[in-house]
Amino acid sequence: MSTNRWRRVSQVFLGVMAAAILAPAPAQAQIVRVGSSSDWNQAIGFNLGYFVVKGDDKRGEDDVLFRNQDSLIFDTKDFNGATIGAEWLIGLGDYLEGGVGVGYYQKSVPSIYGALVQDDGTEIEQDLKLRIVPITATVRFLPIGRRNSVQPYVGAGIGFFNWRYSETGEFVDFNNDVFRANFEADGNEIGPVVLGGVRVAASDAWLVGGEIKWQDAKGDTGGIDEGFLGDKIHLGGWTTSLTVHFKF
């Protein structure tokens, strides 16, 4: 496949991704690496970041973490944690890029009942665990272009959030009897993504930088019928990342 045709196919592909429909890249495409840093058209990147979940004041009364604090002792900010991810970028001219990425976050937080203990005086303990795997399609605007040594950018897009939330350990029923259980909820949600950052051309082959990203989505836990005090779980928050890209 010629270079020009590959670029046309890539641009069409990004348009499809922006509509949240992902399509595989042509298996037979030939990618020719260009020696000059000003001529690159695609990049494969990796990132390491820190995810800060929504605080209690923004979660709403139907959120399971908010509701759990009526009876359990833990801090919502303990769900803040590390993330890893990868992405593929495609140039759409001198000032625009399209990208598709995937990330991974998981955090387990211990909790105890605030007003109840076992008959022997020991705490009634649980582990609350949240996992989010975001798949994102974004478009970025680079106001001073993609061919400068320093490249600030802003962007927006759509995220597909695969998630799982669980509560495992000891619980108290309406008769104040203690029992062991594992409650789980999972699903897939769609929500907006907004990002901004800056990267620096470290060489003809590499870009390094930093990025901040906001995401928003809400999952359905099933509520009391599934053993949860809240009907929803907020998946939104801010991720700050260090990024590295190999360009070609």
Provide the residue type at 78 as one letter.
Answer: D
Share of the chain above pLDDT 70, in %: 85
Tokens 């140039």 correspond to what residue?
Answer: 91
Is the separation of the CB atoms in 229 and 185 below 8 Å? no
Strands (DSSP E) contained in 20-71 are 42-53
Tell me which residue of 193, 131, 192, 190 sits closest to 163, measured CA to CA: 131
User: For 3-12, 47-56, 187-196, which range has the lowest pLDDT when averaged over its residues?
Assistant: 3-12
Cα atoms in the Cβ-side hemisphere of radius 13 Å centred on 184: 6
Secondary structure of residue 68 in the 3-state scheme: helix
User: Predicted confidence band at 231 (pLDDT cuts at 50, 70, 90)?
Assistant: very high
- Say how far apart CA 32 and CA 11 lie, in whole Å: 17
Average pLDDT over residues 216-235: 96
pLDDT digits (tens, 9 = 90+) for 170-215: 999 988 899 999 999 999 999 999 999 999 999 989 999 999 999 9
Is residue 53 within 8 A of residue 77, CB to CB? The reply is yes
What is the dihedral sign for C-alpha 70, 228, 190, 159? positive
3-state secondary structure of 36: coil
Q: Contact at 8 Å (CB) between 176 and 134?
A: no
| pLDDT level of residue 18 (50, 70, 90 thresholds) | very low
Residue ranges of domains in the chain, CATH in brackets = 3-247 (2.40.160.20)
Average pLDDT over residues 74-99: 97
Q: pTM value?
A: 0.82
Residue-wise pLDDT tens digits, 103-136: 999 999 999 999 999 989 899 999 999 999 999 9
| pLDDT recorded at residue 38 | 56
Of the listed ranges 1-10, 95-104, 121-130, the least confidently predicted one is 1-10
